[in-house]
A = this chain, B = another copy of it.
Amino acid sequence: MNKRERHQAIREIIGSRVVGSQEELRVLLHEAQWDVTQSTLSRDLREMRVARMPTPEGPRYVSPEHLGDGAADDRTLIEEVLPQFFSSIDGVTELLVLKTIYGGAQPVAEAIDDAGWKEVVGTIGGENTILIVCRSPAARETLEKRLLKIAEG
């Protein structure tokens, strides 16, 4: 009887198959050892704000936050985007600040994430500035040189 875990289970189910009614969901949950009534599911779905969307093939439940997932496109290579957007780079301790032309921060930040470099703890991109958190000051220096090299083409 753990509501939070059950919510998670519900998300996984409605995210991976077509669920058209709360009764149907109840059966699917039952197969996964969750045993609750339709009433509870009605309340769960409200708390989770799961919407019921009618379609020609019948209604289906959809998590609002997963609706934009279809928009996800192909990954971008850092070698392609950085020379195109690069403006300047600087940093202190384990922080690296990379500036790009306007609008370039997001794609570049994404490309850096995708590169999967071990020196990188994480990146945050605004409009034209990216903050890169590095694992150490030494890692920052390594990364700074690498990015500069890539930026030059």
Contacts and interface: CB of A to CB of B under 8 A. Distances in A.
A121 to B, nearest CB: 5
Contacts of A64: 53, 67-71
Contacts of A11: 84
Contacts of A147: none
Contacts of A131: 122, 124, 131, 133
Contacts of A38: none
Contacts of A70: 49, 64
A79 B80 CA distance: 39
Contacts of A7: 80, 83-84
Interface in A13-70: 42, 45-47, 49-56, 62, 64-65, 67-70
Contacts of A47: 56, 80
Contacts of A53: 49-52, 64, 67
6 contacts: A7-B80, A47-B56, A50-B53, A64-B67, A72-B102, A125-B126
Interface of A: 2, 4-5, 7-8, 11, 42, 45-47, 49-56, 62, 64-65, 67-73, 75, 79-80, 83-85, 90-95, 97-99, 102-104, 106, 109-110, 113, 121-127, 129-131, 133-136, 153
